[in-house]
């Protein structure tokens, strides 16, 4: 199922000993069916809170998250989540970690899917390895495999490449674009890295002050590299709006 992800007027307040924190104040945005959409914003602007609300791990006070099928009908897609830390269980093998995500399926089907998904993320042969035996990049690919093994229609990714060194990160970008082309889930990628956003996303949503400030169209064909014509200029333009919001002429978008 291809589904659009739609967030409408989300508001969220946390009561803390230091007073109320309001990371989301009427935030609306949309990810188109099968696209990679990035959400960028300064640290603490509410990106993780947004993802947790979409994943159903947190409740918004007001507003709603809904999904639409190809003809605009309401949809209930399968959702996969990838976090910044891989969150693999250290006492389980790669295969056990992945199969856990589809534990309701019969064992032969679990085994088949696990083999298929490990091939997709190029980790065939590591089924019986433990997480401690993997590099950071490999563990993150297992985290991606675990999110994908249930064939999600919507993939939510919270800084999935954030903890990796630059070389590993760039090779994982390539891998991820290839995997996404084979299984084009509607993907929301949370990142604070503008270059990452323009390398991977079709649209980049900039949030700040609890709202969507602006959406950038990223028209370059995949796969992209740092030398894709126009990519560096767009990345600079997005960064400039971060650094000088008052000079960029941005009007908060309702
Ligand atoms: N469970 C919570 N209780 C209280 N405050 C919270 C809670 N979760 C988040 N916050 C606060 O809400 C604000 C937004 O946090 P959030 O983690 O969503 O931001 P972020 O944009 O993902 O940040 P970063 O880029 O640094 O990860 C922060 O001020 C944070 O301290």
DSSP for the chain?
---EEEEEEEEEEEEETTEEEEEEEEEEEEE-TT-EEEEE--TTSSHHHHHHHHHTSS--SEEEEEEE-TTS-B----EEEE-SS----TTS-HHHHHHHTTTTS-HHHHHHHHHHHHHHTT-TT-TT--GGGS-HHHHHHHHHHHHHTT--SEEEEESTTTTS-HHHHHHHHHHHHHHHHHS--EEEEEES-HHHHHHH-SEEEEEETTEEEEEEE--PPSS--TTSTTHHHHHHHHHHHHH-TTTTT-----
Q: What is the pLDDT of residue 2?
A: 85
pLDDT exceeds 60 at position 181: yes
pLDDT averaged over the chain? Answer: 90
For residue 125, being part of any structural domain is answered with yes
Q: Ligand 1 centre and the CA of 39: distance in Å? A: 15
Does ligand 1 come within 6 angstroms of the Cβ of 187? no
Does ligand 1 come within 6 angstroms of the Cβ of 125? no
Which ligand 1 atom is at minimum distance from the Cα of 58? Answer: 1
For residue 106, being part of any structural domain is answered with yes
pLDDT exceeds 60 at position 37: yes
Q: Ligand 1 centre and the CA of 23: distance in Å? A: 7
Nearest protein Cα to ligand 1, atom 20: 44
pLDDT exceeds 50 at position 248: no
For residue 17, being part of any structural domain is answered with no
pLDDT exceeds 60 at position 62: yes
For residue 248, being part of any structural domain is answered with no
Highest mean pLDDT, choosing among 91-105, 137-151, 165-179, 232-246: 91-105
Q: Which residue has the higher pLDDT, 118 or 164?
A: 118
For residue 205, being part of any structural domain is answered with yes
CATH code, 124: 3.40.50.300
| For range 159-172, the mean pLDDT | 85
Task: Report ipTM (2 d.p.).
Answer: 0.96
Range of the domain at 128: 29-48+70-243
Q: What is the pLDDT of residue 25?
A: 94
Number of structural domains in the chain: 1
């Amino acid at each position: 199922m291809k589904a659009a992800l739609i967030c409408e007027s989300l508001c969220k307040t946390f009561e803390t000993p230091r007073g109320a924190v309001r990371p989301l104040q009427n935030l609306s945005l949309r990810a188109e069916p099968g696209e990679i959409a990035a959400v960028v914003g300064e640290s603490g602007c509410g990106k993780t809170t947004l993802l947790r609300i979409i994943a159903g791990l947190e409740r918004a006070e007001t507003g709603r998250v809904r999904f639409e099928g190809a003809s605009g009908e309401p949809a209930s897609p399968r959702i996969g989540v990838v976090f910044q830390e891989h969150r693999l269980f250290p006492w389980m093998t790669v295969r056990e970690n992945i199969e856990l995500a589809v534990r309701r399926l019969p064992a032969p089907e679990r085994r088949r899917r696990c083999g298929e998904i490990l091939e997709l993320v190029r980790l065939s042969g590591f089924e019986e390895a433990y997480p401690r035996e993997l590099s950071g990049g490999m563990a993150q690919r297992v985290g991606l495999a675990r999110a994908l093994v249930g064939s999600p229609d919507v993939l939510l990714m919270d800084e999935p490449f954030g903890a990796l060194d630059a070389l590993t990160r760039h090779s994982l970008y390539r891998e991820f674009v290839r995997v996404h082309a084979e299984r084009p889930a509607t993907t929301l990628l949370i990142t604070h890295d503008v270059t990452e956003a323009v390398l991977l996303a079709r649209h980049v949503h900039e949030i700040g002050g609890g709202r969507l400030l602006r959406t950038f169209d990223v028209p370059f064909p995949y796969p992209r590299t740092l030398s894709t014509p126009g990519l560096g200029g767009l990345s600079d333009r997005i960064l400039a709006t971060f650094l000088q919001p008052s000079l960029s002429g941005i009007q908060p978008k309702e």
